[in-house]
Amino acid sequence: MGIFDAMNTSVGGLQAQSYALQNISGNIANSSTTGYKGIGTSFEDLIPESGVPSKQVAGGVTAHAQATITTQGTISSSTVATNMAITGDGFFAVQRPSGVVDNVPVFDGVTYYTRRGDFQVNANGNLVNGAGYYLMGVAVDPKTGNPTGSVASVLQFQTNFVPAQATTSIQYAANLPTQPKTVASSTASSGTLVANGGLDPTDFLATNPLPVGSPPPRTDATFTTAGANNSVPGPITAATKLSGAAPSDSLTAGFTAGDTITVGASPATTITITAAGTGLQDATHVRADDTVGDLLTAIGAATGVAPSINAATGAITFHTGTAQDFSITASAPGGQAALGAMGITGPYPKTQARGTGMTATGVVMGSDIATFTKESISGGAVTAYNAAGTPVNLQLRWAKTDSAALGAGHSDSWNLFYQTDPSAVGSTQPAWVNTGQTFTFATDGSLTSPTGSGITINNVNVGGQALGSVAFNISSGGLTQFATTSGAVTINTITQNGYAAGQLRSVAVSNNGLVVGTFSNGQNLDLAQVTLSRFNGTNYLKSMDGGAYAVTDQSGPAIVGASGTISGSSLEGSNTDIADEFTKLIVTQQAYSANTKVITTANSMVQDLLNVLR
């Protein structure tokens, strides 16, 4: 070793620092390049071989590239919907065309990897970044949202056309009013279902709108007694006294205090006769010297319909009402004798069964539309689609078929109807169809039946367009019955899953790496899943032009399924730190200058040696 070795070592130092300067220059030049990963410089000393450690000397130097591929760049937002940025581990899989045939790129099948996510849609419907690399991913079935395979390929969306999808389910959430305000409720008789906002199937002339299989609705039935005379010759009237001595205007056999009259059986109502003049008098107590009219009023309160008297004959017509069969008896013997004086002859109890209406058909005919509309409330509407993509207006209405306000044995129950024919007329054309399920609510407003997530409406047909079976889905707690001042249905959700056919209009990338297409039918459907790959030796990837990397033996093969996440409408910037690069630039410059000084010094020493020979 000697002076000439020192000069050679300094030359090596100049080369190493030049290499470092080149890397610094490249990093600064790419400080604004999307997804650029800076290259550092690693110096390695070269020690000449020596058999004696004490005779070793400082050797030369060589420089190597030090990759920073794993260092994250800054994420910034972008106004381009197809731009993407990766946070954390992972690379986009891309390919670069090897040529073009008939304006269509041809690929050689070699996959590269990049963090550069400035992808945009080109004329052929491919997602291409600013360096000309084509994005790869796995196609997704727009109808099901499931991947159509597992192997990534170059994505293309130019010819995407989504066929029509028939409506197969409706998502529904609403609150039904405890007291519906229907048109009919304002004029209905107090204490009836209609007055409580309900639907009375006996009001329908053509068919019974309750679900098929429901028991026929009960109707009011009557029976009329024979004519009866009071103590004064002539028929009894409402003013005839219940008891009194002849020839007063009273029954021939009167009631006395303590007599009881039982009306109905389930539940039964007991009317007690109290003392004349001073006895208790209310809905279930009548004084002995009150009138026949007073007793009939009490009986009417028990059955729901007041009896009436024929003024000419004194015959009394009793009504069963719809709540239960009619039954009346009195305590024997005086009470029953008094009933006989009113024309209600034994054997006792005197009974009369209610009438029955039409068998349930589950449909409302055109001739009953007005009645149905007055006794039900709107449940909203949604545009549904058949298999061909034809839109239909699916109208819903709720009808209350029982009300807890009617007393013991009753519960808050509803039926749901859909409009099958908006133009139905007459008694043979169905206008509304019952879905066939009774929705029952507890006193706290929660739904108790059905207990599942919804029902299936079979054979739905609207305006001649067949939709088939449609699932009517109700999420947990989605259907309630709470009191409202409006008396109308409050709809929280009413959506369906059908749509017409549509042509692709634009694409965007979501924050979970899905390529979402916007179609002419207004649908936003998933088209592809962008896959991310990772490497065991990331920093040993080979850098290519345009921010791409090729696989090497030291990097290992690509592993699909990186832990990083994709952000849509975002870009990852260069990871170059300008301040750090400037600092390294100063150090490199000083080291380079120092190496030139060594050469200058060695040259001076050689000159001194040469001067010895002169």
| pLDDT above 70 (res 176) | yes
515 with 598, same domain? no
From CA 431, how far away is CA 507, in angstroms rounded? 43
Of 41-50, 326-335, 566-575, give the lowest mean pLDDT range. 41-50
What integer is the mean pLDDT of 358-362? 91
CB count in 10 Å sphere of residue 240: 26
- Which DSSP helix (H) or strand (E) runs through 137? strand 134-139
Res. 1 pLDDT band, cuts 50 70 90: low
583 with 481, same domain? no
378 with 461, same domain? yes
CB 423, CB 401: distance < 8 Å: no
113 with 211, same domain? no
Domain stop point among 356, 386, 411: 356
From CA 527, how far away is CA 533, in angstroms rounded? 20
579 with 568, same domain? no
Highest mean pLDDT among 52-56, 97-101, 154-158, 206-210: 206-210
3-state secondary structure of 401: strand
Res. 148 pLDDT band, cuts 50 70 90: confident
Q: What is the pLDDT of residue 320?
A: 87
473 with 512, same domain? no
Res. 54 pLDDT band, cuts 50 70 90: low
Domains contained in the chain, number: 4
122 with 52, same domain? no
Residue 170 has phi, psi (to 5 degrees) of -125, 130
Q: What CATH number does residue 178 fall under?
A: 2.60.98.20
Q: What is the pLDDT of residue 128?
A: 96
Higher-confidence position of 613 and 503 = 503
Q: What is the pLDDT of residue 156?
A: 92
345 with 382, same domain? no
From CA 327, how far away is CA 343, in angstroms rounded? 15
Higher-confidence position of 303 and 182 = 182
Domain stop point among 356, 385, 405: 356
Domain stop point among 356, 384, 419: 356
Q: Could you list the residue range(s) of the whole structural domain that residue 544 is in?
A: 75-163+503-572
| Orientation of helix 3-29 relative to helix 578-612, angle to 10° | 160
Average pLDDT, the chain: 91
80 with 143, same domain? yes
466 with 556, same domain? no
Locate tokens 């449909």: which residue? 363
233 with 342, same domain? yes
313 with 374, same domain? no
What integer is the mean pLDDT of 185-198? 90
| pLDDT above 80 (res 418) | yes
| pLDDT above 80 (res 588) | yes
The closest alpha carbon to 24, from 40, 44, 43, belongs to: 40
431-467: pLDDT as tens digits: 999 999 999 999 999 999 999 889 999 999 999 999 9
CB 181, CB 196: distance < 8 Å: no
539-555: pLDDT as tens digits: 999 999 999 999 999 99
From CA 218, how far away is CA 581, in angstroms rounded? 93
Token pair recorded at residue 481: 């019955």
327-341: pLDDT as tens digits: 999 998 889 999 999
Locate tokens 């058909």: which residue? 361
| pLDDT above 80 (res 608) | no
Res. 324 pLDDT band, cuts 50 70 90: confident
Secondary structure, 3-state, 273-287: EECCCCCCCECCEEE
Of 58-62, 183-187, 317-321, 477-481, give the lowest mean pLDDT range. 58-62
Give this prediction's pTM.
0.66
| pLDDT above 80 (res 160) | no
3-state secondary structure of 77: strand
What integer is the mean pLDDT of 94-107? 90
Q: How far is CA 206 from CA 201, 278, 378, 430, in A?
A: 10, 53, 22, 10
| pLDDT above 90 (res 217) | no
CB 192, CB 200: distance < 8 Å: yes
Locate tokens 């139905």: which residue? 424
